[in-house]
Amino acid sequence: MKPISIWAANAQSELKQLEPAAEISKALALSVYLTSDTLWLVKEWPNGKRIGFRTAFSPSGKISIKKIDHKENEVRIMLACSTIIHEVTVHYDDEAPYFRYTVCATPKIPLFIPYWPKDILSFDEKGNINQDCKIHTQQRGTRSGILFFNDSDSGSVFYFQNLTALNPYCETAKCSAGATVGGTWPEIGFSLPATTEPLEKGKTYTFSDAFISLSDQQPDNPVNIATEYLNRLADIYIKLPRPERFYHNWLDTVENGLKDLTYHKGCWTFAGGHSYLSAYVADYKTPPEVMVQLAVLMPMLEYLDWKGEKNHVLVDELRAGLEDFYQEDMGTIVRWLPAAEKNLDHSEEQKKPRVMDAWYLHHPLMNLARLSERGDKNVKDILFKSVEYAMKVAKKFNYEWPVFYQMDTLDIIEAETADGEGGEKDVPGTYADLMLRMWKITGEKRFFDEARKAAAKLQGKSFELFYQANNTAFSAGAMIRLYKETQDKTFLELSYVCLAALFDNVQLWECDYGNAKNFPTFFGVFPLKDAPYTAAYEEQEVYSALHDYIDEVEGLEILPSIRLLIAEFIRHMVGRVAYYYPPMLKPDMLAKEIKTGEIDPKLWIALEDLHDGWEESGEVGQEVYGAGIAFGVIPNQYFRIKNESFILFCDYPIQKFQNRQKSISFNTGGDNRLSCRVIILFQETEETAQSRFEVLVRKEKVSPVKSNSDMLEYNISGNEKVKISW
């Protein structure tokens, strides 16, 4: 039997003897119980077992109910104890297995809180604490405050703590909302972070804002877990208070970034007869990397296509040096430019000659394949030769890659990300992506067969599939393409597993304390499962990969929750990631000690890292290879109108865009319970613009929410057909 804390033991003892203080919902079998130190919400499962949620808590051990107000679908309970005045509000829905409880607290004196117990306990039919459960996932670092678990044999619980509501508490107490949701069974859930400064007397703080989704079903395999996770996250997402995003002018930002990228000497290094982009600004020691060149080149080419330009000096420079990354004796491209490999400092495992980080080989080859698809004959030869090497590596490791291996001998240098956790588990997905691209280019069945063999290695994995955000997103796209070719539902379901793992590594709350008051955080993506910060490059690549996923599933029947979550990620991303650029931030929040290179606060080159509000950002460096952000956003969200002096912007993905004479039509993505921003941007000032445009949704006229001589802005529901005439 697992040991329990004194707080859990007290709850077990008292709840066995108590009758409910009030019934919240008969349909939900949800009641209120008052023990000596806690107001509990207790849900009884159909099998007679119960699960309790701690709301108001009195560290002094004495708490009393002063008043209970019942309204439709809401119960408000006022409580008192010696040090805190509590108000607990419970919202519920008799038609759905869902409720929300919010705990507001007003200290009677300046108050330190050094400890707070977890807020979930599970009980068997006799009232004893359950010893059995299956936790599918829980919060890590400053990711979403999610806890998803099977409660014994009773059902499953999806718990979401709205950490945005804790900002005033964290600001006053000088503490972080990171790592507050989780725990070790049987004591799990949320606990207030310990204060380092006292809470103010007489000021009301939110101590908890929890959204609970209940189900009698117990998902027991990766596909069912992923499906339940995505559906229940989407259901709660609609109910969440969400920050508004303001329009950011990417048309100006992209030109600022392009200018700085082209002419700022800190972005470049010269080696082997060519100029190459450095990975970080002012990092003149580290050799050029092949991934860096291609990570900027590919989105830049898409931007130039959008702009209608065929050439740019930067494109010519980047293309010119690609072939020099090919290592003849191994028959493959390598990470570091061979001509400068001697400059590697061996400070990290991957900073040694001929050492490969497993995902890193596939990423540039995927981009070389995309270049080949565009008709670039210069890279096609090195792509084809390098792919044979990649296939040899895949077979050597039986399609399950370690973290690091020696390229010339294929000896494993580091097998696992951590003890017992295996290697880079999403790499089979990137390999499948590469093989599918090769199949598309050549028509050779062997590449398609390789993709299927790699995809099989993703089966049986759940949230642990996630190693690196962009690779997990690419894997989802590869699986959906396999599904379209084979109609084998296994691949569709594997794409769901990838997406669930991806959305489990986002920050669905707005951090608004400390330095984070200077930048938005809602729906940020973490690059690695244990990364303490969100990262510009991975965010841009996830964004691009999810756009591709939505394009691939056009006309297919997929989970509606996926369309909702992807559309909302895109909407928040395009308004948020501009804050990776130092000119958008206050200089005093930037790191003073930089791991790689230097930070130029006036330079329109993205920081790699944005941190929790109590930490400085940019400590990793100013990443040149994150320059693809603006290049990637514009072709996906801005639409040029032929022979017209205006541009259309939409912050959702849109499909079926058609440009006819004096009209355009398109379908908004997402879900019609939510809305997106559609803007008509004038390239020349127009004083009478509103009167000459007609915007129809379902043939009904829509009025702008903002109108001036520069733009017309509309609020349009998701999943709608829109027609604009002029």
DSSP string, 466-524: -SBHHHHHHHHHHHHHHHHHH--HHHHHHHHHHHHHHHTTEE-S---SGGGGGS--TTE
pLDDT in tens, 320-350: 999 999 999 999 999 999 999 999 999 888 8
Q: Nearest 5°: CA angle at 99, between 93 and 104?
A: 125
Q: Is 228 exposed, middle or buried (0-12, 13-18, 19+ CB in 10 A)?
A: buried
Tell me what the pLDDT averaged over the chain comes to.
96
Q: Which helix (H) or strand (E) segment is 701 a member of? A: strand 700-701
pLDDT score recorded for residue 66: 97
In this prediction, residue 636 carries a pLDDT of: 97
Q: Residue 528 in contact with residue 647, Cβ under 8 Å? A: no
pLDDT tens, 214-236?
999 999 999 999 999 999 999 99
CA dihedral 588, 590, 592, 597 (to 10 degrees): -140
- CB neighbours (10 Å) of residue 323? 13
For strands 30-34 and 22-25, give the pairing. antiparallel
Instruction: For residues 133 and 147, give the distance between their C-alpha atoms in angstroms, rounded to a whole number.
Output: 12
Measure the CA–CA gap between 613 and 628, rounded to whole angstroms: 26
User: How many C-beta atoms lie closer than 10 Å to residue 419's C-beta?
Assistant: 6
Please state at what angle helix 489-503 crosses helix 469-486, rounded to 10 degrees. Answer: 160
In this predicted structure, the answer to whether residue 687 has a pLDDT above a threshold of 90 is no
Q: Tens digit of pLDDT for each residue in 523-573?
A: 999 999 999 999 999 999 999 999 999 999 999 999 999 999 999 999 999
The confidence band for 380, taking pLDDT boundaries of 50, 70 and 90, is very high
User: Residue 692: what pLDDT?
Assistant: 86
User: What percent of the chain lies above the pLDDT cut of 90?
Assistant: 94
Average pLDDT over residues 116-126: 97
What is the model's pLDDT at position 347?
87
Average pLDDT over residues 451-475: 98
Whole-number pLDDT of residue 60: 81
As given in the structure block, the two tokens for residue 661 are 């004479």
> Once rounded to an integer, what is the mean pLDDT over residues 595-616?
97
pLDDT band, residue 688 (cuts 50/70/90):
low
The residue-averaged pLDDT of 134-156 equals 97
- The confidence score (pLDDT) of residue 131 equals 86
**What would the 3-class secondary structure string for 638-685 be?**
EEECCCCCEEEEECCCEEEEEEECCEEEEEECCCCCCEEEEEEEECCC
Count CA atoms within 13 Å of residue 455 on its CB side.
Answer: 31
The answer on pLDDT for 129 being more than 90 is yes
pLDDT at 310: 86
Written as one letter, the residue type at 111 is: L
- What is the Cα–Cα distance from 125 to 48, expressed in whole angstroms? 6
**Confidence at residue 691, expressed as pLDDT on a 0 to 100 scale:** 77
The percent of residues above 70 in pLDDT, for the chain, comes to 99
Structure tokens at 595: 């791991």
61 band by pLDDT with thresholds 50, 70 and 90:
confident
Mean pLDDT of the 492-517 span:
98
Q: What is the pLDDT of residue 600?
A: 96
Q: Of 141, 149, 146, nearest to 161 (Cα)?
A: 146
Torsion of CA 678, 683, 685, 686, to 10 degrees: -50
Peptide bond into 186 cis (omega under 30): yes
Q: Can you tell me the distance from the alpha carbon of 601 to that of 72, in angstroms, rounded to the nearest whole number?
A: 53
Q: For residue 132, what pLDDT band results from cuts at 50, 70 and 90?
A: confident
For the chain, count helices (H), then strands (E). 16, 36
Cα–Cα distance measured from residue 423 to residue 400, given in angstroms and rounded to the nearest whole number: 7
Structure tokens at 571: 């909407």
**pLDDT at residue 1 tops 80:** no
Q: Residue 607 above 80 pLDDT?
A: yes
Place 164 in a pLDDT band, splitting at 50, 70 and 90: very high
pLDDT score at 598: 96
- The pLDDT tens digits for 73-118 are 999 999 999 999 999 999 999 889 999 999 999 999 999 999 999 9
The stretch 452-471 carries a mean pLDDT of: 98
> Is 621 strand, coil or helix?
coil
Cβ pair 709, 682 in contact under 8 A: yes
Tell me the average pLDDT across 184-199.
97
Res. 42: pLDDT tops 70: yes
- State how far the Cα of 196 lies from the Cα of 175, in Å rounded to an integer: 7
Q: Is 543 exposed, middle or buried (0-12, 13-18, 19+ CB in 10 A)?
A: buried
Q: What is the pLDDT of residues 224-279, one digit of tens each?
A: 999 999 999 999 999 999 999 889 999 999 999 999 999 999 999 999 999 999 99
Instruction: Compute the residue count for the chain.
Output: 726
Q: What is the pLDDT of residues 288-300, one digit of tens each?
A: 999 999 999 999 9
Q: How far apart are CA 1 and CA 185, in angstroms?
A: 11
